[in-house]
């Protein structure tokens, strides 16, 4: 598992109600209701402050950050 993915999972397990034992890397987080809009903002803030990822809201769509794998791919690509 990449360091990026591990840090995202660590954040989700500590800061949200997402149960990583039952939620897979490809399972929808936001569109399924596993995280709410507040948690999404917290997650994006974490990506910026802890992983150095600059969020460009003009380029993002929900598919870019709806799964753990999509988030990992997005951060690692920048």
Nearest-Å Rg of the Cα atoms of the chain is 11
Residue 34's closest CA among 52, 53, 46, 16?
16
Residue 70 has pLDDT above 90, yes or no: yes
Res 60 pLDDT > 80: no
| % of the chain surpassing 90 pLDDT | 71
What are the chain's domains?
3-77 (1.10.1200.10)
Q: Is the CA virtual torsion 18, 59, 50, 41 positive or negative?
A: negative
Return the percentage of the chain with pLDDT > 70, whole number. Answer: 100
């Amino acid at each position: 598992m990449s360091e990026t993915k591990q840090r995202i999972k660590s954040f989700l397990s500590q800061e949200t109600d997402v149960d990583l034992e039952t939620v897979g890397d490809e399972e929808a987080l936001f569109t399924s209701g596993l995280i709410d809009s507040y948690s999404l903002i917290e997650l994006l803030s974490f990506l910026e402050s802890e992983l150095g990822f600059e969020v460009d809201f003009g380029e993002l769509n929900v598919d870019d950050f709806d799964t753990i794998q999509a988030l990992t791919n997005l951060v690692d690509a920048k």
